[in-house]
Amino acid sequence: MFKIGPYSIDTPLVLAPMAGITDAPFRSLCRKMGAGLAVAEMVTADQSLWHTRKSRLRLPHEGEQEPRMIQIAGGDPQMLAEAARANVDLGAQIIDINMGCPAKKVCRKAAGSALLKDEKLVADILDAVVKAVDVPVTLKIRTGWSAKYKNAVTIGKLAEESGIQALTLHGRTREDRFRGKAEYATLAEVCQTISIPVIANGDIDSPEKAAWVFQNTDAAAVMIGRAAQGRPWIFSQIKAWLEDGIKQPDPDAASLYQLIAEHLIGLYATYGEYMGVRIARKHFGWYLQQAELSQWRKSFNLLETPDQQQELLAEILQPLTQPFANSA
């Protein structure tokens, strides 16, 4: 268990915010699968852009399992402060500031991990957002801008001094993007330097890797991102391993059928049939890849209605009885 402000998170497993992936249906599913916390997709701090359909779907926060944690991105302290207040008004209970995204379109606007170059601006942003809201504020960063410019320890100290309640650290620099392997020495150093909870992120893709990170750092929790795509049961597998030393298998065909069907229904309900069917395609592709049934992906992508997708899902999985690929 770890705490973010007044909130006690029973399971130290967090679903990372991933644009276009960790929407409400997927967050709900991962929580059901064992995630102790699920962070909503990143939203821009520029409220003039909140009129888009994509933003409107991301912004309502009421009705989800508590605590409801959302992530905002931007480079202007006052704009971020106002966005934080607006999200709290919409039901957010924890505000996370993104200073870790390496995407070019984010960094070009002096947001995300681009902010790590300007420690004064980082301090101004943290101070403004913390003072703007009466809910906990957290921060997500990378180890630094490049291998020659790692300043996670400095940023961690600034965060703690500013009143940030928890820090998530991805074990790569902005320059690394998602190449190479995440490193945890910097994370261990940050954990030893500051007293607020530190959440480890980057390449945590198995129960054994999660256990290793806990054993070799003082991380309060681990955050799972890409490893949960098409594999939301990774949370229950990590939980079983950490708590009982049990190697939990991947779901059998019947369980996977129910899980995917539930996920697809959630997508149709959230986005409507037209967009729901299209968004379902990428998730279904990830599920099929995990189940070593990727030859069905092309057929699924040609389908145009929820009924057609559900029928193909049943055709693929109902005849199967054996468990799928072994856990990583």
Distance CA 324, CA 320 (A): 10
Count of residues for the chain? 328
Q: How far is CA 57 from CA 25, 98, 180, 272, in A?
A: 12, 19, 34, 11
- Residue among 193, 216, 128 at smallest CA distance from 164: 128
235 and 30 in contact (C-beta within 8 Å)?
yes
CA torsion, ordered 144, 148, 154, 155, to nearest 10 deg: -10
- Is 210 in contact with 180 (CB distance < 8 Å)? no
Strand residue runs (E) in the chain: 2-4, 7-9, 13-15, 37-44, 69-73, 94-99, 137-142, 144-146, 149-150, 166-170, 198-201, 221-224
Annotated active-site residue in 30, 101, 107, 191 = 101
What does the alpha-carbon distance between residue 121 and residue 290 come to, in Å, rounded to a whole number?
42
Q: Phi and psi for 235 in degrees, rounded to 5?
A: -65, -45
Q: How far apart are CA 316 and CA 125, in angstroms?
A: 50
Tell me if residue 101 is catalytic: yes
Residues acting as catalytic residues: 101
